[in-house]
């Protein structure tokens, strides 16, 4: 049985092993194939029963060109790069990795918030540049420093990751508000569930941890921002398409949003004309919340189990039943 990994580099740049997958079939791993529609994708999939990918797109046309294809496994939670509806029509299950990043993504969200509050990276660079050695005072700071205890965080999307972040925020002494389409009892132990308008009006910090849907695309826009506190902090390491980037950039530049910490943008890699690149007080990191080795090892382990489940005739984590 032939197994092909189309874009394995970001999952495993060399610090993990493909060994467990090699035990399950004739494995070929490509570091990168294409992140846009390309004839090369179908070419590399030829004869493969199982195809594993992260961000390489699998379209209807590609599926039709690969008659041996029986399983598509995504090395991530999001699976929008696959035409999963057409795969279902063809009887091909698409499986994902739903819960690998709870700890790493919630931790990174708080890290973005703490960087906004203290600008640790900037001040370290300033010290190394000689600015402390040449300063007449025993200390200095170039940005306002913010204490989080007693402030209110509003978390939009209160599933596993949102609740993990909520627990960290409570440990920092913050009040926690949450908005979710499906409130549950475990969430009520951490936060007060409120509607979006109440969250916008009451939160000093707003973080996003919701799935991307047609209904919430661009939800952080000019109208939503107008309902927020002056000087709110915005954190997004969920999906870049949740925010209207121009509206957020405008709000940063006029001070309505005091600062933003972003690990995702609308189009990735980021375009050089993205308005957020020139916005005031905007920290942007290159979509790395998910990437600690421990998190990527869980992706590898769950993907192996997904393939084993398919081979046993009982696929798990199927997103297109």
Residues assigned a catalytic role: 239, 268, 287
Give the tokens for residue 173: 């002494």
Longest dimension (CA), the chain: 73
- Residue by residue, DSSP assigns 6-62 as SS-TTT-SSSS--HHHHTTSEEEE-S---SS--HHHHHHHTT-SEEEESSS-B-HHH
* Whether 95 contacts 315, CB under 8 Å: yes
Cα angle, residue 36 at apex, residues 30 and 40 outer, rounded to 5°: 50
Q: Is the peptide bond before 240 cis (omega within 30 degrees of 0)?
A: no
Residues 47, 45: Cα–Cα separation, whole Å:
6
Handedness of CA 208, 214, 215, 218 (dihedral sign): positive
Please list the residues that pair with 2 across neighbouring strands. 26
* Whether 213 contacts 237, CB under 8 Å: no
- Residue 238, number of CB atoms within 10 A of its CB: 24
What pairing do the DSSP bridges indicate for beta strands 71-74 and 50-53?
parallel
Residues 182, 135: Cα–Cα separation, whole Å:
53
* Whether 246 contacts 275, CB under 8 Å: yes
Residue with tokens 């913010």: 146
* Whether 301 contacts 276, CB under 8 Å: no
Please list the residues that pair with 243 across neighbouring strands. 220
């Amino acid at each position: 049985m032939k197994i092909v990994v189309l874009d394995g580099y970001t999952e495993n740049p060399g610090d993990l092993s493909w060994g467990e997958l090699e035990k399950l079939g004739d494995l070929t791993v490509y570091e990168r194939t294409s992140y846009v529609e390309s004839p090369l994708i179908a070419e590399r999939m030829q004869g493969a029963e199982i195809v594993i990918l992260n961000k390489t797109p699998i379209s209807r046309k590609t599926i039709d060109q690969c008659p041996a294809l029986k399983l598509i496994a995504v090395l991530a939670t999001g699976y929008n790069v696959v035409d999963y509806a057409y795969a279902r029509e063809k009887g091909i299950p698409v499986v994902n990795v739903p819960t690998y990043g709870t700890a790493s993504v919630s931790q990174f969200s708080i890290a973005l918030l703490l960087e906004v509050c203290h600008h640790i990276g900037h001040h370290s660079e300033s010290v190394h540049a000689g600015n402390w050695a040449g300063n007449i005072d025993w200390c200095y700071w170039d940005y306002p420093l913010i204490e989080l205890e007693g402030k209110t965080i509003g978390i939009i999307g209160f599933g596993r990751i949102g609740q993990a972040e909520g627990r960290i925020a409570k440990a920092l002494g913050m009040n926690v508000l949450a908005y979710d389409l499906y409130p549950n009892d475990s969430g009520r132990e951490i936060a007060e569930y409120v509607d979006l308008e109440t969250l916008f009006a009451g939160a000093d910090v707003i973080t996003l941890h919701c799935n991307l849907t047609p209904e919430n695309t661009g939800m952080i826009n000019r109208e939503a921002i107008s309902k927020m506190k002056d000087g709110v902090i915005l954190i997004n390491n969920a999906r870049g398409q949740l925010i209207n980037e121009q509206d957020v950039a405008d709000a940063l530049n006029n001070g309505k949003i005091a600062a933003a910490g972003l690990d995702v943008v609308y189009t990735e890699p980021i375009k050089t004309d993205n308005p957020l690149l020139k916005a005031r007080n905007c920290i942007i990191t290159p979509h790395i919340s998910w990437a600690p080795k421990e998190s990527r090892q869980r992706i590898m382990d769950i993907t192996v189990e997904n393939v084993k489940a398919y081979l046993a005739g009982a696929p798990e984590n199927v997103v297109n039943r």
